[in-house]
Amino acid sequence: MTRLPSVTERLARNTYHLDEEENHIEVNQDIARRTGTGRLLVRICPAQVYGEAPDGTISVNYAACLECGTCNAMAAPGALIWHYPRGGFGIAYREG
Amino acid sequence: MSAEVDFDVIVIGAGVAGMVCAHQLASAGHEVVLIERGQEPGTKNLSGGVFYCRVLEAVFPGFVERAPVERRITRNVLSFLNGTSHVNVDYWDSRLAEPVNAVTVLRAKLDPWMAAECEQAGAVVMPGVRVDALLREGDQVVGVRAGGDELRAHVVVAADGVNSFIAQEAGVRAKEPIKHLAVGVKSVIALPRTTIEDRFRVSGDEGVAYAIVGDCTQSIAGGGFLYTNLDSVSLGVVLRLDDLEAKGLSSADVHDHFLAHPAIEPLIRGGELLEYGCHMTIEDGPAMVAHDLTRPGLVIIGDAAGFTLNTGLTIRGMDLAAGTGMAAATAIGSALKAGDYSDNGLSGYRAELDRTFVGADLRTYAKAPAFLENPRMYSDYGQLLADVFHGIYAHDLTPRKHLVTTAMAAVKASRLKLGQLMLDGWAAARAL
């Protein structure tokens, strides 16, 4: 391994069944900002699903989600609604 | 209780626990449905990769020969890793191959095989379906709601993993304190079989498992791991969530730091990344398992109930999951026979666990999580060990000193106090 590809490039090699109709992650921007959960999510998500815009808004790229639940475990109460994608959608590990 | 059921038992989640439970119940002649949210069993499942698999022989005879497992672990390396040094305990023993003690697995390959075994035993496997909620009549769980449909059964088994929304909905688990949880971030790197054999000094289908502590996590509580598969290597980091929050680092960066570490990078050099994944795991199994494990009509098994053990040296989840699946199947079998699905009717589950290695090991290692909270484990001790060995091997033309004097000098030069060191040693001996 001379150099690891970026997280985005890595995820592009994974298999996903994208649910175009339903986003399974929702951030409450006010609470996320007030509690610091927003920045925490950006940092702790291994798939880098969360991003912070210059105005502090937290973006969610739910298509990249690896469904580990770390964000849900660490978010301040009310800052995040997170559940599994609908049956059959989301990450499909080939190795696991 | 209404007798109108679609199945005797509904098992939620096709992981090790759920599949062992479904297999045993179906083998005993019960009507079982196994509901899995992934398009195929295994697609949502990720483990570090070492399965202490002796327990499965009773469920799937000939498991090691028949199942798509990777390598049989005969070499275990415990590595104290620092920025530019490491001290390893390297234990190879051919006895670990006969009988096979542990194998590496890739769950997306193993789990479809186990699901096929469940079908063969008579279970109905229903993939691609997410269970949305439990159905209840009063206190009694009577089935599940999934994808707009309702399915009814005498007993529902929650085997839905570490995030168990079902256990939370049932009021068994509250939001878990984050120090009980950790996130594993893992890469699978392809390497030619011959390269793996040469690089890791293994032959045939034998393999090695590294448990690494220290700079692999940039001193975040947790550790690193590296396991050989047939023609790939699984490696990554496990980071305790409270310490990940406190240290201010990014989980992906810590993973990348580990793979680029001068002691690790040569082991995967030239390899090709096959897959990058992550999964949560449980750092304090004994604390989590202390909650209830049943509700009327509901049994909770595997990760969903918190059955994992990190002893610092061995990291176990899948064998305990299998043990809980077997115990639950036995208890549910009795409940079905008696027609009693109350808490009392299902109380055989806890009793069965207490009778087996699962309950015994959780009691034995009850103090391990508290010991592993000791921050010195993740920074100071690796450096101290390296300093002792440096004192032994670095000949700077000063007169040599006896081993004890050299070691004492290393302790004195460190931030550690001798008394603290002895207390930690004593605590380790008692907790691990």
Find chain B residues with C-beta within 8 A of A72's C-beta.
163
Contact B319, B309 (CB under 8 A): no
Nearest one of B163, B148, B45, B136 to A83, comparing CA atoms: B163
> In this complex, how many residue pairs, one in chain A and one in chain B, have their CB atoms less than 8 Å apart?
144
Nearest one of B138, B121, B140, B132 to B35, comparing CA atoms: B132
> Percentage of chain B surpassing pLDDT 70?
99
Average pLDDT for chain B: 95
The predicted pLDDT at position B292 comes to: 93
Verify whether the Cβ–Cβ distance A74 to B37 is below 8 Å.
Answer: no
| A91 interfacial to chain B (CB closer than 8 Å) | yes
The predicted pLDDT at position B312 comes to: 83
- Band the pLDDT of A3: cuts 50, 70, 90: confident
C-alpha count within 13 angstroms, C-beta hemisphere, residue A28 = 13
Reported as a single tens digit per residue, the pLDDT across B177-212 is 999 999 999 999 999 999 999 999 999 999 999 999
Find chain A residues with C-beta within 8 A of B106's C-beta.
95-96
Verify whether the Cβ–Cβ distance B278 to A68 is below 8 Å.
Answer: yes
The predicted pLDDT at position B19 comes to: 98
Find chain A residues with C-beta within 8 A of B185's C-beta.
46
How far apart are the C-alpha atoms of A68 and B281, rounded to whole Å? Answer: 9
C-alpha count within 13 angstroms, C-beta hemisphere, residue B137 = 13
Q: How far is CA B178 from CA B25, B90, B282, B366, B418, in A?
A: 34, 33, 10, 18, 32
Q: What ipTM was estimated for this complex?
A: 0.97
Flag whether pLDDT at B44 surpasses 90. yes
Verify whether the Cβ–Cβ distance A91 to B165 is below 8 Å.
Answer: no
Find chain B residues with C-beta within 8 A of A86's C-beta.
130, 147
The predicted pLDDT at position B1 comes to: 46
Of the residues A70, A80, A81, A86, the best mutation for testing chain B's interface (the one with the most B CB atoms within 10 Å of its CB) is: A70
Reported as a single tens digit per residue, the pLDDT across B51-98 is 999 999 999 999 999 999 999 999 999 999 999 999 999 999 999 999
Flag whether pLDDT at A1 surpasses 90. no
Verify whether the Cβ–Cβ distance B46 to A93 is below 8 Å.
Answer: yes
Q: What is the mean pLDDT of residues B350-369?
A: 95
- Band the pLDDT of A44: cuts 50, 70, 90: very high
Q: What is the mean pLDDT of residues A35-47?
A: 98
Shortest CA gap B186–chain A (Å): 9
Of the residues B43, B70, B106, B166, the best mutation for testing chain A's interface (the one with the most A CB atoms within 10 Å of its CB) is: B43
Flag whether pLDDT at B34 surpasses 70. yes
Find chain B residues with C-beta within 8 A of A93's C-beta.
42-46, 107-108, 275, 277
Residue of A nearest to B165 (CA): A83
- Band the pLDDT of B3: cuts 50, 70, 90: low
Find chain A residues with C-beta within 8 A of B265's C-beta.
1
How far apart are the C-alpha atoms of B124 and B31, rounded to whole Å? Answer: 8
Verify whether the Cβ–Cβ distance B130 to A87 is below 8 Å.
Answer: yes
Average pLDDT for chain A: 96
Contact B234, B186 (CB under 8 A): yes
Reported as a single tens digit per residue, the pLDDT across B111-164 is 999 999 999 999 999 999 999 999 999 999 999 999 889 999 999 999 999 999
